[in-house]
Chains A and B, each alone.
Chain A
């Protein structure tokens, strides 16, 4: 278990207490985190309003809030969020299926391992996000090019973790089910795969951050809609409140998805410490 942070939801234990008490607890237990966040926001507010003093260079948190409100009312924000979400989800799903498949091939065949390893290691280490303009040239400024960028960024950590997970399956456990007469398929589904799941999940979690970067960067290079496009447009017109509004939405999405994932992991893999 990681230390609870400012963004985690209060646990089931506090459910019996009254709502007000648990809310107080929630803030009190994390008082340093909340204090830190509010101090940061206050300093930011002060710096941008008093020291910088121009919306062209820096937007204050309150101005960002106003921008978020206006963008929502006009329906613009929803449009961008919808586009980016679609690109992320499709690219991410494709990468998950592909990554688990590639990892499986690498773990189960020597030829597969040897022929795929150089590409996987090489492309994982390469900042492939720099190839985004190329993908836009190939696949157009629509959704497809972003899906490709996301998939390319996410697929490698998933592949590598799947392979590692399958490869590090404890041999004694394999031996145990083999002693009961298990065949290769049973060994895979009853031992190797469940034993690799924590690794695969870790790969999927790594993929969230990379996928978000992929969506935004690809959109920066050319798109009709999406949060990246909104941010780039805001930058061109020196509309700092809108720029920060876009970044804020992305930050919240990243945090929500990562903690949602941690929660899902605890639900699906309850046997872990």
Chain B
């Protein structure tokens, strides 16, 4: 993995909202095909970081390059999987999945075959003409994922995509995500607040600290692949989770207290 070419490079990235410094001097490199998770207490700027990489937000300072090109706005070289599924209620599943290619003028019979293949990949074959309201939360998140993959992005950005699902569905979705990822080996930036989810999925984990948001530590997850769910009960796995939890425990405590104090 360390010899793969650099996909995303971030240099001195800083973000301020008024006087609030949300991200401070983020510098990192992500290699092609890596699965990176970002964990950290709420409010540490994880979403903001992802939105800047996605081009939905302007950085206040520093820059990010994807495949050597400077990121200046949104584009079809990135696929965003949002926390809420954000499916368009008036479009059926097929039309929702194809919105990215449609916007970029890339609809074709070939694209249609690819879209159908993706829907099959995420286990939604036969649901192409259902409307979003007819699907369960887990199924809608699969569409959300297929939609992001439909533009064949160089980088997949996922912001707590499973946080709204119940615990069992979430575990299933984690294995499904790994299966989908194994197939295409996309580069993934995955934000989560579930530490075990991060350990289970990732090559590397960026542990963020807050006020201002910054990378506190980078953890290499040295667990074999493919990973069955049972790996979550092995001592090595639990050690990783404990270690990361210790890193952010104090921060989480403070952020929870702040939230309760209003």
- Residues on A close to B: CB < 8 A? 172-173, 175-182, 186, 190-191, 194-195, 197, 269-273
Contact residues on B (Cβ < 8 Å of other chain), bracket: 20 to 34
**B residues in contact with A273, CB < 8 Å:** 133
Q: Do A172 and B104 form a contact, CB below 8 Å, given A178-B56, A181-B76?
A: no
Main DSSP-derived SS at the B contact region: loop
Q: Do A180 and B86 form a contact, CB below 8 Å, given A271-B133, A273-B133?
A: no
CA distance A33 to B184 in the complex (A): 62
CA distance A175 to B86 in the complex (A): 9
**B residues in contact with A175, CB < 8 Å:** 56, 82, 86
Residues 94-149 of B at the A interface (beta carbon under 8 Å): 99-100, 102-104, 131-133
- By the criterion CB–CB under 8 Å, are B74 and A181 in contact? yes
- By the criterion CB–CB under 8 Å, are B104 and A181 in contact? yes
- Pairs A–B under 8 Å by Cβ, sample size 18: A172-B82, A172-B84, A173-B88, A175-B56, A175-B82, A175-B86, A176-B82, A178-B74, A179-B55, A179-B74, A179-B80, A180-B80, A180-B99, A180-B104, A181-B75, A181-B103, A186-B103, A271-B133
CB distance from A186 to the nearest CB of B (A): 6
**A residues in contact with B82, CB < 8 Å:** 172, 175-176, 179
Q: Do A190 and B86 form a contact, CB below 8 Å, given A175-B56, A180-B74, A180-B76?
A: no
- By the criterion CB–CB under 8 Å, are A182 and B103 in contact? yes
- By the criterion CB–CB under 8 Å, are A172 and B86 in contact? yes
**A residues in contact with B86, CB < 8 Å:** 172-173, 175-176
- By the criterion CB–CB under 8 Å, are B131 and A271 in contact? yes
Q: Could you say which of A179, A194, A195, A269 contacts B56, with CB atoms under 8 Å apart?
A: A179
Is residue B61 within 8 Å, beta carbon to beta carbon, of the partner chain? no
**A residues in contact with B198, CB < 8 Å:** none
**B residues in contact with A180, CB < 8 Å:** 74, 76, 80, 99-100, 103-104, 151
CB distance from A168 to the nearest CB of B (A): 14
- By the criterion CB–CB under 8 Å, are B80 and A176 in contact? yes
Pick from A173, A179, A181, A269 the residue with the most CB of B within 10 Å: A179
CA distance A180 to B92 in the complex (A): 18
**A residues in contact with B84, CB < 8 Å:** 172
Closest 7 CB pairs of A and B: A179-B80, A176-B86, A180-B100, A271-B90, A271-B131, A194-B90, A182-B103
CA distance A272 to B82 in the complex (A): 23
Q: Do A177 and B56 form a contact, CB below 8 Å, given A172-B84, A271-B133?
A: no
CA distance A269 to B91 in the complex (A): 10
CB distance from B120 to the nearest CB of A (A): 22
CB distance from B83 to the nearest CB of A (A): 9
**B residues in contact with A272, CB < 8 Å:** 89
CB distance from B153 to the nearest CB of A (A): 10
CA distance A265 to B205 in the complex (A): 50
CB distance from B104 to the nearest CB of A (A): 6
Closest to B77 in A: A181
CA distance A194 to B88 in the complex (A): 9
For the complex with contacts A175-B82, A190-B88, A190-B99, 15 further pairs of A-B residues with Cβ separation under 8 Å are A173-B88, A176-B80, A176-B86, A177-B99, A179-B54, A180-B76, A180-B99, A180-B100, A180-B151, A181-B73, A181-B74, A181-B104, A194-B90, A271-B92, A271-B133
CA distance A269 to B88 in the complex (A): 13
Closest to A172 in B: B86
**B residues in contact with A172, CB < 8 Å:** 82, 84, 86
CA distance A33 to B24 in the complex (A): 70
CB distance from A94 to the nearest CB of B (A): 27
CB distance from A8 to the nearest CB of B (A): 23
